[in-house]
Chains A and B, each alone.
Chain A
Amino acid sequence: MAPVLDPMVGRYVQLEIDGVPHRVYFEEAGNGIPLVCLHTAGADGRQFRHLLADPEVTRRYRVLAFDMPWHGKSTPPDGWEKTEYRLTTASYTAAIRAFCKAMELDRPVVMGCSIGGRIVLNLAIAHAAEFRALIALEAADFQQPWYDTAWLHRPDVHGGEVCAALISGLVAPQAPPVSRHETLWMYMQGGPGVFKGDLYFYRVDGDLRDKVKTIDTKSCPLYLLTGQYDFSCTAEDTLRTAGQIPGVHVQVMKELGHFPMSENPAKFREYILPVLEKIATA
């Protein structure tokens, strides 16, 4: 019997981010408009595996999901053991632009979730001309913190389990149990301190209040989609952000939480396919 293969292919690309050599893992599938997918904090590109395997998407889009440095199969840079990982607006933006450049992508669409959504807002603020369209999932200019990140990386609490347990409540109750637990498993596999380091960007460095007012959706269309069960980035947070950006498309997604693409792929599809259709036919 022939092997049953998923359609996406995984590879490593060598690139420099801010002059530092990196080896970055990515998966891709499809042909057409490049669509770069950014995973949530403390997770990896596997969150987009259903999108990568969706013929409705891949017939028109070349979908690429890369693991951020320190995440998934992308190793940290040499000498990582002497540093404490901290993602910043500058380093995150540099990583995304370096990946797009290394892969020679021509004005890709970028879709990010959570911290990936927040950085998409920064791309819209600072680098809109480089992108065909931007999609921010579970994104806002600012969100109220709801726990102390000091619990995420300490020897007396299992980092993977506490990270997964904390974010488990961000999955909507309607999520299929298999997808819920696959989403949590990815959190359990994160490297020590990586989720915490990502949240430095989210909590300390990535406050975009006021800055989002400068977004020009005429130069690059912007779509904001947030799940109604996301209490980290609430629908109100997203709607407040959208209210400051003329021309933005905003949608609250019912029965979805903070991880729409992995917690309930079938439900997410109902919302993302029309957006991708709109971008492809614009």
Chain B
Amino acid sequence: MSPADRFARLPDLLADDPDLVRRGRWLNVECRVDIGAEPFHLVLKEGALVSLDRGPRLMRSTVFTVRGTDEAWGKHWEKVPAPGWHDLFALTKRGVASFEGDLRPLLQNLQYFKDLLALPRRLQETG
């Protein structure tokens, strides 16, 4: 499964984690996450994922974007990630991921987003 294919499973992964949804209950935002060359558009409402659109969308606006290379996400989602690949900011520090846009909702809900973007790590546990 490619990193983008794994990320496409995000709706089920988040639905299986009611505690993470609870922690994001103050969050309402539209944002974008790029897995390698593939953009994903997320609509989050009260911590739940209302929609996840895969692929380019003409003139789709977004509050902020998190970008990472295929290698970055692949290594980040290993069962026990290697040092330097285990955290979102470890990835940005080494230059394989980046943030842009209005980062305020990201920082206001930082642990939520870190945990959300790490959810595909669970896929290897369930096959």
Residues of A within 8 A of B111 (CB): 161, 164-165, 168
Q: In the complex, how many residues of chain B place their beta carbon closer than 8 angstroms to a beta carbon of chain A?
A: 19
Q: Which residues of A157-207 have CB atoms within 8 Å of chain B's CB atoms?
A: 157-158, 161-162, 164-166, 168-170, 172-174
Quote the shortest CB–CB distance from B16 to chain A (angstroms): 18
B22 within 8 A of A: no
B88 within 8 A of A: yes
Quote the shortest CB–CB distance from A138 to chain B (angstroms): 13
Q: Per-residue CB proximity of A116-159 to B under 8 Å, as 1/0?
A: 00000000000000000000000000001011000100001110
Q: Which residues of A201-237 have CB atoms within 8 Å of chain B's CB atoms?
A: 228-229, 231, 234-235
Residues of B within 8 A of A146 (CB): 89, 92-93
Residues of A within 8 A of B104 (CB): 156-157
B108 within 8 A of A: yes
What's the Cα separation between A268 and B83 when bound, in Å?
17
Which of A144, A157, A234 sits near B107, CB closer than 8 Å? A157
* A229/B83 contact (C-beta < 8 A), A146-B89, A146-B92, A166-B89 known: yes
Which of A174, A228, A231 sits near B93, CB closer than 8 Å? A231
* A169/B86 contact (C-beta < 8 A), A146-B93, A231-B93 known: yes
Residues of A within 8 A of B (CB): 144, 146-147, 151, 156-158, 161-162, 164-166, 168-170, 172-174, 228-229, 231, 234-235
Q: List 27 A-B contacts (CB under 8 A).
A: A144-B93, A146-B93, A151-B103, A156-B104, A157-B104, A157-B107, A158-B108, A161-B110, A162-B108, A164-B111, A165-B114, A168-B87, A168-B111, A168-B114, A169-B87, A169-B88, A169-B89, A169-B90, A169-B114, A172-B83, A173-B81, A173-B86, A228-B83, A229-B83, A231-B84, A231-B89, A234-B84
